Amino acid sequence: MQNSKREIAISNRYLYYYANLLKRIYGFVIRNERGNDERYTGRLDEAPVLSPLPAEMIPPKDMAARLPGTPVRDEIVLFRFRKRLLLGTCQGVLPRNISEIAVLSEDDRRLRFHRTNLVYLSGISSRDVPLKAHAATVHALSREIDLKDVWELAVESDTALSLPEIADLFYNGDADATQWMALYLHLHHACAYFRPRASNVYSPYAVDQVSFRRRRDSRRKDRDEEREEVIHAMQNEAESIAVHTLTPRQQTYLEQIRQYALWGRESQHARQAQALLAEICENKKNRQKSAVELLIKKKVWDRNENLDLLRAEVPIAFSEDALRQAETLAPAVGYRKKQKVFVIHLPDTDIALSFRRTLFRGPEFGVHIPDIAALIPKDSAIDRDAAERGARIPFPDHPIPMLPPRIVHDLGDFQQARPALSIFWRANREGRLKDFCIAQTTAISKADLSPESVDQALGDPAHPQHRAIQFFSQLTARLREKRQIALRDLEKDEPQNAAYRIARESRLLAGVAVGRWCDNKGIPAIYETRDPIENADAIRQISHPVVRRHELHRHTPNIGLSTMPDRHRGYGISHYCPIAQPLTRYADLVMQRQIDHHLQTEQVLYSVDDLDTLRYRMWETQGMIDGLVYRHTRNLVLQSWENQLGREFRAVVLHLKTRGVLVELLDHPFKTVIYPGYPVAVGDEIDLRLTGIDRWKGWAHFTMSHQASAVSF
């Protein structure tokens, strides 16, 4: 390879100054004259460039006799395509009325370009020298070129140079086709000393411009080195990717791949990530899936990483300020009235109740909710973290809490004296409700009951909580019957255990009481509403319970949130303001804080506009959480089936589609579309065999008797 950094000979310097002097005086440039014994090797545009050609690269006679400016088949040419300079092999020359040339480029693309974009004809046939090998030689030589000495001459005389003049000064003699193309590529792509102008003339940059461009090129070189290092680390399976060992730019590359793995082409730097992945993972069609597999292989993500959770940008860990503040919280119970309660422990949430039978009047009872708002100040670090989450995410394997663990497992239960927001009712001797009041109390637990203990207390007159549980059971039955008469619709997921029924009706009763209290006092509140279920009579007549549940879910309208009281058709009540779950829903926590503030100051803390903003956000948050839980549950089911191919399942037909039928497995929460080979009806139970799983797409493939069925949805 030609040494590109040798100094310009003294004779060439003299000839250069002499030529420029004559150019100024006589108006022409002295050009080197070649002898007739030198052979033609290449042309730049329409001006022929002559230089000696090695014997093994002498073109055939038909190639030497071609017309000027027209390449022959298999000749290596340099051309412009979409503002890029590429090398390619000529595949054909189209007629003059089309004026296009077809080539096979160095990056294996079949391109067509106009004749005016043809830059250089090398005279070298790809049959003698492979295109890729020749292109690699040209690019390597181009990167080694340094025109500093030539630039110094041009700057001293303040003269623009043509390409042949730069070649003569730099190479100190004749240049072959490879050197010409390398020099042309360098001048147009990487030269920090000359600016290309028309007709292959190049003006020297000023000294300060060269200094700036060299610093820029140095930064580009550093960037390319960092990029190559990241690509090498990603390709090398034995090398780990530790974030603290990466430079800031390399961390940016890693983040671009991470963003592309999550959002694909919708990510902000999708093109840069695709270019990186094309170099790291060759011959991969699905770049997004390749990015996920790459991050798992490099241990940036776990094999079972919840990508939906990352896409939703839900924070998993609490901030250090929130955790520190949670450790310093202390329940303030000194000024509140003490109230003895018994707690019913349920898997999802607990509920505290109180009961007292007076001598001359009817019974009095209360529903007590942990007063979390009294512990968490507004706009505190804990409150900001809870607002960002919006609600607890009930994943089957690892639920994500809304509040720090100390509040959920310590300050939020009634194992010790804890502040509570209490709703008290008075009833007549027949157990009919008369009136209610809301107060801040200190709840002290005197009994803890499990669902089994509630059933035992209900059937054992000697149990200490028998009278209380019996009263709540009777009250629950009357409340549910009244709701059903008002609703005239189906009850969804009716609990069978007495503890669940008591807890459910008590929460609904508390929500209605709080909603009416806020409406009567003009306090802004968030009410939960729902439209009536459509086709309830038809759904009621469905015999199969799984199909009935499916149709009920299809026809049940979504829950709505409003700042105006309206009817909740799903529960058969009105003025329902949910407040019983401040540990798991941020809207309940806000309403609890609103009531506490009004009880203390008789003023409102949140305006209607504040609650409107909150309810819109809570509506979006709840939809996002429902989608996260559904997809994660489905992924867990697919994960549990990975080693169970060939397993038999029982399924029921839910719906007949235009193509295929929708079925649901009887023992798993999984629905899929199959294509049976015989007619089936809604409610029929069929046998399926698991034949394949695609966790990336969320598909499970099943087959059934006499006919293969395919995809799940």
Map residue 161 onto helix, strand or coil: strand
pLDDT computed for residue 395 by the predictor? 92
Domain range for 193 is: 10-205
Which of 152, 180, 205 is where one domain is finished? Answer: 205
Residue 313: inside a domain, yes or no?
A: no
The torsion defined by the Cα of 467, 469, 473 and 476, in degrees rounded to 10, comes to: 110
5 within domain boundaries:
no
Which residues are bridge partners to 665 per DSSP?
651
Flag whether the pTM goes above 0.85: no
**pLDDT number for residue 7:** 53
DSSP structural state of residue 712: B
What type of residue is 275?
A
Question: Please, which contacts does 461-468 make with residues 24 or more away whose CB atoms are closer than 8 Å?
Answer: 465/342, 467/355, 467/357, 468/342, 468/353, 468/355, 468/365
Three-class secondary structure of residue 672 per DSSP: strand
Pair (65, 107) in one structural domain: yes
Q: φ, ψ for residue 463 (rounded to 5)?
A: -70, 140
Number of alpha carbons in the 13 Å side-chain half-sphere of residue 235:
13
Residues 468 and 542 in one domain: yes
Structure tokens at 495: 């609990």
Do 298 and 439 sit in the same domain of this protein? no
Cα separation, 478 vs 502, in Å, equals 11
CATH number at residue 648: 2.40.50.140
Would you say residue 656 lies in a domain? yes
Residues 18 and 164 in one domain: yes
Residue-wise pLDDT for 250-294, tens only, equals 899 999 999 999 999 999 899 999 999 998 887 777 889 999 999
Give the contacts of 442 (CB within 8 A, at least 6 positions apart).
333, 336, 337, 338, 339, 417, 418, 419, 420
Question: Does residue 381 sit in the same domain as residue 453?
Answer: yes
pLDDT in tens, 423-476: 999 988 777 888 999 999 999 999 999 989 999 999 888 998 999 999 999 998
Within a domain: residue 703?
yes
How many whole angstroms separate alpha carbon 270 and alpha carbon 291? 12
Give pLDDT, residue 12. 59
Q: Single out the residue in 574, 597, 631 at which a domain terminates.
A: 631
Q: How many domains does the chain have?
A: 4
Residue 177 · residue 122 · CB < 8 Å: yes
- Give a yes or no: residue 4 inside a domain: no
The verdict on 515 and 460 lying in the same domain is yes
Q: Is residue 2 part of a domain?
A: no
Q: Which of 303, 333, 349 is the last residue of a domain?
A: 303
109 and 16 share a domain?
Answer: yes
Query: So what's the pLDDT on residue 33?
Result: 38
Residues near 299 by beta carbon (within 8 Å), at least 6 away in sequence: 240, 241
Give the pLDDT of residue 8.
55
Instruction: Write down the pLDDT at residue 381.
Output: 93
Which residues of the chain fall below pLDDT 70? 1-68, 333-334, 359, 485-496, 705-713
Distance, first Cα to last Cα, the chain = 61
Is there a single domain that holds both residue 415 and residue 526? yes
Whether residue 355 lies inside any domain: the answer is yes
Same domain? 663 vs 566: no
Residue 441 has what pLDDT? 92
Do residues 383 and 247 share a domain? no
pLDDT at 496: 66
Nearest to 365 by CA among 305, 433, 319, 417: 433
Same domain, 92 and 30: yes
User: Is 26 within the bounds of a domain?
Assistant: yes
Based on the fold, state whether residues 254 and 343 are members of the same structural domain: no
